[in-house]
Every structure is written in structure tokens, then in C-alpha cells.
Structure 1
Amino acid sequence: MAPLKHLEKENPIIDACFQDFCASHGILTIEDFLLHDLYELTAFSQRQTNADRLKEGITLILSLIERQCRPLVNGLKLLEDLHRNKHTLSTGDKETDSLLQGGFREGQLTELVGPSSSGKTQFCMQAAASVAENHLGRVLYLDTGNSFSARRIAQFICSSSDATLGQVYLFLVP
């Protein structure tokens, strides 16, 4: 983290006097400031002749930190944000889309697991083709079993009318 000295130029309250006060308590950086007991620091500042100015400096640093850090949110707010700001992409299967509350979440990785020969590969190829076709998007297809078939993807895409292909990327992961 940045030393407190770097804040002085834009924030005159973080002057040499304030920096010396912080240094006397082992605070040389913003990180040190966060690790220190702020109630204790405030109590020490009140014993100084320039208590108001020191308190103002502490408040300023806290506000600078608050502006730089994302506020903590709970799980419900994260879920609401997800539904409000993320688009869903249809898998090509209405029942699966319903189960996934609309389909795949744009910009997120989705992993499909199951027993051998349960249809995972076919489902993934169909979903990749559906997303590329219907959303004119790019699909990243990770194949850990080396079973990707460009011919099979083409069959999925060509089986529907008005097929406009987006892009499907293949990364084989051994």
C-alpha cells in the first residue's frame, strides 16, 4: 500500500505533523492505518495540542479508504445484483433454462458433471451451438476429454433454420 506521504500532495491535512503522529504509532502506510486500532489512535490524538487537525486527518484517510474499497454486501444483495446486471443465455433446452433460471449467466463459467456416457458432451455442444447461434456471441468450450467434434457442432447449427453462426472457441485441456 502507499505510504501516507503520497497523500500529502492532494490532501494538505496529511502534512508532516500528521505523518509524524502516525509514525509514532507505527503507521507508515495506509495498510498500517487499517491494521491499527482506530479508537486507540483517536484517543491518542485527543491528547495532542492539535487534536482537531489530527482527528480531521484520521477521518480523511478513512474516507479515502472507503472510496477506494468496495462496500461489503450480503449474499442476497449479490444475488439481486446478479439478476439485475447479468444477462442469461439460453442453453437451447427450455427445461434446463428453467432449472438455471433463464439459462447460462453471461460472463460466468458453467461446469457440467456426471457419469460417463450420460450426455454431458452432447448437451455442452448443443448449448455452445445455441449460444453462438441465438446470441451471435462467442463461446469458450473447454474440452477436458478430447471429445470435441466440429462436425457435431455444425450439425446442431445447421439443424435449425436461419442459422447465423457466432464464434465457438475450443481449448483442449488434457
Structure 2
Amino acid sequence: MAALMYLECGYPLIDSDFRNFCASHNIISVEDFLLHDLYVLVISTEQHHNSERLKEGITQVLTIINKQHQPWVDGQELLDDALQNKRFLPTGCRSIDTFLHGGLREGYLTELVGTSSSGKTQICLQAASAVAKSWGKIIFLDSGNSFSPKRVAQIVTQTSDLSAYEVDKALQEVMNNIVCFSVFDIFPLFEVLHQLKNNLRSQKDQHIRMLIIDSISSLIAPILGGGAHGHALMVSVGFLLKRLAHEHDISILVTNHMVAGEKGTSKPALGESWRSIPHIRLLLSKDQISNISSISVLRHPHMATGDRVEFAFQ
């Protein structure tokens, strides 16, 4: 990303005083800015005589970030991408994979929305187990202590028609292929994603096939009360995830919770700006009486909104 010094000609607030203030916090580029704890940065402005101008400069940088969009591409590039034989990775549930015409597509950001008891983490663990068993490495970003090695072991054991020795070997392969990070706020999330981006570009992690974030909403929702600051960070996370998926043919799966909507209805968290970011949005629900779950399409480039499938967790 651009160094802050190149922004001054178009944005007078980002002057030498503002850049010197940022440099005192080891912030030289826009990327450094995103990785910094902005709340600490805002508080530190109080120690300066031009505190209000520095705060305006911070808001100015966030506004610039918020206005960023993905690069323009022509129709031929879009057609070439659509015609690429990108693979589908399994979710660990045959009914879901059939419904989605093969599973979770590489190069796409898929969002799974549902209530706390709907089974979002279960699908994440099943997908991680299935992909790690036969396809390659998984990065699992855990924001709520939801990753359970014991549950992964149960999934591998229950879905294997193998001898005890073969099951142990398969389980060891699965566990070795899942890399789990505990991430509890958005700034460590940026650090992990940028490190992953650098590793992929240098081909250090060329065998990574899937990135799972359970849950994205618990990392983003706390910062949205900060107005433009939080909104800009949310959009930046979304664009970074889509860029990782597209440039490296990774399937990215994130979970999102539900919040109260109008007239007592529920709706996905994170608001309208986030709604347009994922390529695919799926709504997961579960009937607590029959124990039957369902997935319906909220957004999909190749399926109709409202398409639905029922299934039962194993």
C-alpha cells in the first residue's frame, strides 16, 4: 500500500506534522496504519497541541481506505475467470455439497449466517476435517474458542471405513494439515491475513486450500460503534479476504451471527455494507424439535435466492 507521504498533495491534513506523529508510532504506510490499534492512536493524540487536527488526519486516512475498490477488470478477464476449472472443496456433508454443485468453490468468499445454535461451527469443523484429509492445509482462525480437536477426531473417525491403524494415520494427517490461530480482535486478524498474503506470494504456504474464520462478526462488530473508523476497517478486511481468495485460489469460509431486525425478524449482523462483500451468503437454520437443519441461499452468483436443502448433522 502507499506511503503516507504520497497522499499529502491530495489531502492537506496528511501533512508533515501528521506523518511525524504517525512515524512516532512506527506508521509509515497505509498498511501500517491498518495494523495499528486505532483506539490507542486516537488517545495518543491528546498529548499533542494539535490534537483535533491529528484526529481529523486519522479520519481522513480511514476515509481514503473506505473509498478503495477492487481494480477495474474488463469483460474478457471476468469471462476467463468464470471459465477457469476451479475446484470445489467438500463441506463434509454430502447433501450440502450436492446442493452447492460440488461444495465450497476455490477463489470465493463464502459466508455462513445463522443463530448461535444453528451449527455454524459444526460445518466449519466438518469442512476443515474433509479438506485437510484429502486436499491440503487449512488455516482456522478461531475468535471464540470454538475449535475442538476432539470434535475433529470424532468427525474423522465417524466418516472413515478404515482399520484402526488407517484411522490413526488419517487423523494424524488431518491434524497436521489444520493450523489454528486464536484471534480475538480485528488487529491481530489483519496481522495474520497480511502474513498469510506474504507467505502465499513467496510460496511458503502454497498448499493452503482453505481459510476459515469462526466468526468474522465477533471480530468486526465491536469496532462498528466507532463510526467511519470501524466501517473502513470492515471494508478493508472484506477486500483483503476476497483478494486472497481470488489471487491464490483459496476457498474462504466465514461465519456471521444474527441480530434483531424490523418487526421482530432476524437479519445477518454487520449491516448493509458487509452484505455485498461475500460472493456467496448462506443461511443456516435448525429445527430444535425435529433436529433437521437447512441451508438456504441469500446470495449466490449461480443459484437462485431462496434455494434450500434440508439435512441432518451426523
Query: TM-score by structure 1 length?
Result: 0.50
| Structure ID, larger Rg | 1
TM-score, normalised with respect to structure 2: 0.29
Higher relative contact order (CA 8 A, sep 6+): 2
